Amino acid sequence: MAEHALKSPFLKEAYARGYIFQCTDLAALDDAMCAGPVTGYIGFDPTADSLHVGNALSIMMLRLLQKHGHRPIALMGGGTAKIGDPSFRDEARALMSPEKLAHNLAGIEISLRQFLNFGTGTSDAMLVNNADWLDRLSYIELLQDVGVHFSISRMLSFESVKQRLDREQGLTFLEFNYSILQSYDFRELNRRHGAVLQMGGSDQWGNIVAGIDLARRTDSRQVFGLTTPLVTTSSGAKMGKSANGATWVSAKKFPIFEYWQFWRNTEDADVGRFLKFFTDLPVEECERLGTLEGAAINEAKKILATEATAICHGREAAEAAAETARQAFETGSLAIDLPSRDLPRAELEAGIPAFRLFGESDLVTTNSEARRLIRGGGARLNDTPVNDENLIVTMDDLVEGVLKLSSGKKRHLLIRPV
């Protein structure tokens, strides 16, 4: 179905922004959305105590649903997390203790509240935990009610299942049940809250279709599935990874300035696409900014960084991060809001080789990498190039009580002696 044929504002904008990868019945969903508000949901398993940039496209879909007057449900997988989604994973997830699960659920809720407006209004987001119904299920009851509608041959045909079966690690029966429980979630949300749309990443297509089939077979309900594309950078890297690991949305796990800098470091070829994906700027403006070249594309990257950070952390924090970057990169000052780490004062009093200082700084991961950074001319100490990897850095090198380490022009860190 072509974009010009779509009538509902949500689907028209989702299509224009590139959010739609697959949809089970786009024309029928379009008609349903034109007829009135639709309730849709996305599930988030609490595998950590924060969401990360890899979840950003799913969150943006829920935000867009809310923007256009529909009701989003954020489903936390307090029940399904006890199994773990096997989709496209090399091996089974480690099972969590009840205490760890509760901790992660609390963190995921905080993350979701950074992006969505929750409440009781018709377009306010709802926060739901599937443990509310999955924890009370009887196994025999589940087999009689739901299991009879699942074909083993069809479940084995799911690409995510086939890939695991082809690997040496295999697929446990515990994990094999995940698709059944996710399908049960869709039917339960339809019965409890009138949810008719499940959204998710492209790797969830098989599970989503299974849920649609269950609702049709048991309740004669018409429900829909919509998936978003897998987001990778132009160089093929998986979205959501930074030099230090996952790019968390929690400021406690990933400083706001570093979050801003993650977006500022977007590859030139990805700027227009990421502006459409991860900001609320009009599509036409995103496309215009994406066509800029040379020095001008760097200004577009700053806009991307500020707008994406504002959605996650608020406008004030985003603009403060942008100003910190301006001070650090354009004026060379020791902007106090740069990320920092502590170093035992005794090490600086005794003197520490530059390669080891950088190697322990989180700007690189090993001393060998630090040596290569220095030899390649990419290391700076207090904005001055470091040309000798064995240079001894001492308390005499402190400026305003700190050391400013830089890796290239974009990554900076303050070292504070304690």
Query: At 267, which CATH number?
Result: 1.10.240.10
pLDDT confidence of 333, banded at 50, 70, 90? Answer: low
Window from 95-99, 161-165, 280-284, 323-327 with minimum mean pLDDT: 161-165
Residue 238 in domain: no
Asked whether 400 and 334 are in contact (CB, 8 A), the reply is: yes
DSSP, residue by residue, 260-285: HHHHHT--GGGHHHHHHHH--S-HHH
Residues 6+ apart with CB under 8 A from 396: none
The C-alpha angle with vertex 30 and arms to 26 and 33, in degrees rounded to 5, equals 135
Sort strands 241-242 and 245-246 into parallel, antiparallel or unpaired.
antiparallel
What tokens were used for 118? 């929750």
Using DSSP, state whether 177 is helix, strand or coil.
coil
Residues 283 and 300 in one domain: yes
Q: Is 1 exposed, middle or buried (0-12, 13-18, 19+ CB in 10 A)?
A: middle
Buried b (16+ CB within 10 A) or exposed e, 236-257: eeebbebeeebbbbbbebbbbb
Structural domain boundaries, residue 350: 340-417
Residue 269 in domain: yes
Span 72-129, pLDDT tens digits: 999 999 998 887 655 544 445 567 889 999 999 999 999 999 999 999 888 899 999 9
Residues 89 and 170 in one domain: yes
pLDDT confidence of 294, banded at 50, 70, 90? Answer: confident
Whole-number pLDDT of residue 88: 43
CA-based radius of gyration for the chain: 24
Residues 268 and 346 in one domain: no
Window from 155-159, 266-270, 400-404 with minimum mean pLDDT: 155-159
Residue 233 in domain: no
Q: What is the mean pLDDT of residues 149-156?
A: 76
Q: What is the mean pLDDT of residues 283-295?
A: 94
Task: Return mean pLDDT, the chain.
Answer: 87
Domain termination residue (choose one: 331, 362, 387): 331
Question: What's the sign of the alpha-carbon dihedral 166, 168, 172, 173?
Answer: positive
Domain termination residue (choose one: 188, 210, 228): 228
Residue 248 in domain: no
Name the percent of the chain in helix, strand, coil, to the closest 5: 50, 15, 35
pLDDT higher than 80, residue 383: no
Instruction: Fill in the amino acid letter for 238.
Output: K
Residue 7 in domain: yes
Residues 191 and 313 in one domain: no
- Count of structural domains, the chain: 3
CATH of the domain at 389: 3.10.290.10
